Structure 1
Amino acid sequence: MDAYESRVNGPGAGDRPLDAVLCDLDGVIRHHDFSEVARLERAAGVPEGTTASVGFAPENDLPLLLGRITREEWAGSIVRGLLPRVSPPEAEALALAFTVAGYRTDEEVVDLLRRVREQCPLVLVTNATSWLDEDLARVGLTDLAHAVVNSSRVGVAKPDRRIYEIAVERAGVPPDRCLFVDDRQENVDAAVAFGMTGVLHRTAADLRKALAGLDGPNGPPRS
């Protein structure tokens, strides 16, 4: 019996397995396209993923996700981190491509969450940038959730307990009645430590399984 099943189907579980869904954005709903970055890395003679390792390093990434620096300042920190492995023009091109990379949405996940929204509170809990609202508008997702807890707006990021406290308050239900979905184990572990049911997301099938019973024996129906 996995963690989700033991929580919702064990002793004391009610007829309804959960009262709110708290869901991550990146890695669950949204997936970035770094193919242009990879092309530039190959041309510069550095391993693919080099730019990401610099851009997502805590010293560069966290200030952005806490709303303390701009996109331009983030790009500057990436340029500095890439030097002297590549030339200044190559570092600037890589930083630009990385910080403005496109993305796609997982439409199966979006469909599942839209159905969830009709059944219970849905809150996005995301370590994101200050331009997240623009990104959501671009892909037509401004109305996907009842609330969005954006780290760069609230000034605290997962897995800090405080962002979970904010999210639960926005959902309006106790932690033990919340399902938390994220693609990073440390974020799921923190949610579980706070009292929520945690699900590590890998595919839409993971989400569908976690939502089983929300509006029927098989969860949200397939399209």
Structure 2
Amino acid sequence: MGPPPFAAVLVDFDGVLNLWDPDGMSALDRARGLPEGTLAGAAFEDGLLEAAVTGRLTDEEWRAQVAVALTATCGSADRARALVGEWSALSGRIDAELLDLLGALRVRVPVVLVSNATTRLESYLAAKGLADAFDAVFNTSRFGIAKPDPRVFAEAARLVGVPVERCLFVDDTRANVSAATEAGLTGHHYRGAAELRALVGPLLG
């Protein structure tokens, strides 16, 4: 029997293992009579989000700035902070099927979580019971670089001592998958646990 096809699996978090209600933020907008997309537009404004996921802003600072951006639209600073507070309390759903698959993979190869995340990621993982679910965690806000920067993939692979060309990278964002492929990894555009299970079958076998 030859070596396994991959020596490490690098996997994204939000949109892959952690699934958010697609209507969650819009529902908060509607409850306040705001146009749908108001909260998301403020929270995910490119420059502000990039500062949060590269660690130039802490999670708390990012959310505070989102509240400031929403103040005029909400009618007062208090209403804006209340909206951000309710958004911050939302929680995703962990895909149990994928979590089980990743656990099975860890018997054979290291599994690294690679997430464009804020400084809240570690506490969120702990709250979800996932603090020990990975062999390593690459939280971009702790390293100052974010996907699709190719340095992310090299640094994440280095955490478990595996060359990038021996890594499988799994993400639901095509641009990140393309960047990983260009960096020498095997990229997989995630569309469900069943498809990934078929891809990694030789590892499980």
TM (norm. structure 1) is: 0.83
Equivalences for residues 67-216 of structure 1 within 5 A:
67-88=55-76, 89-216=78-205
Summarize the Cα distance change of 1:94–1:210 in structure 2 as closer, same or farther, 3 Å threshold: farther
Cα deviation digits, residues 178-204 of structure 1 (max 9, x gap): 100001111111100001110111221
What are structure 1's unaligned runs of at least 5 residues? Answer: 1-13, 217-223
Shift of 1:209: 2.4
Whether contact under 8 Å (2:71, 2:79) holds in the other structure is no
Shift of 1:124: 0.9
- The structure 2 residue matched to 1:32, chosen from 15, 20, 31, is 20
Higher mean alpha-carbon deviation, 154-163 vs 127-136, is at 127-136
Secondary structure in 2 aligned to 1:28?
coil
What is the identity percentage for the equivalent residue pairs of Structure 1 and Structure 2? 42
Whether contact under 8 Å (1:37, 1:97) holds in the other structure is no
RMSD of Structure 2 on Structure 1 (CA): 1.9
Cα distance in 2 between the residues matched to 1:212 and 1:57: 39
Cα distance in 1 between the residues matched to 2:28 and 2:8: 43
Q: Paired residue for 1:42? A: 30
Aligned length: 203
Whether contact under 8 Å (1:31, 1:103) holds in the other structure is yes
TM (norm. structure 2) is: 0.90
Whether contact under 8 Å (2:8, 2:109) holds in the other structure is yes
Runs of 4+ in structure 1 displaced over 6 angstroms? none
Shift of 1:83: 4.3
Secondary structure in 2 aligned to 1:157?
coil
Summarize the Cα distance change of 1:102–1:168 in structure 2 as closer, same or farther, 3 Å threshold: same
> What letter corresponds to residue 191 of structure 1 in structure 2?
A
> What letter corresponds to residue 4 of structure 2 in structure 1?
R
Cα distance in 2 between the residues matched to 1:37 and 1:92: 15
What are structure 2's unaligned runs of at least 5 residues? Answer: none
> What letter corresponds to residue 61 of structure 1 in structure 2?
L
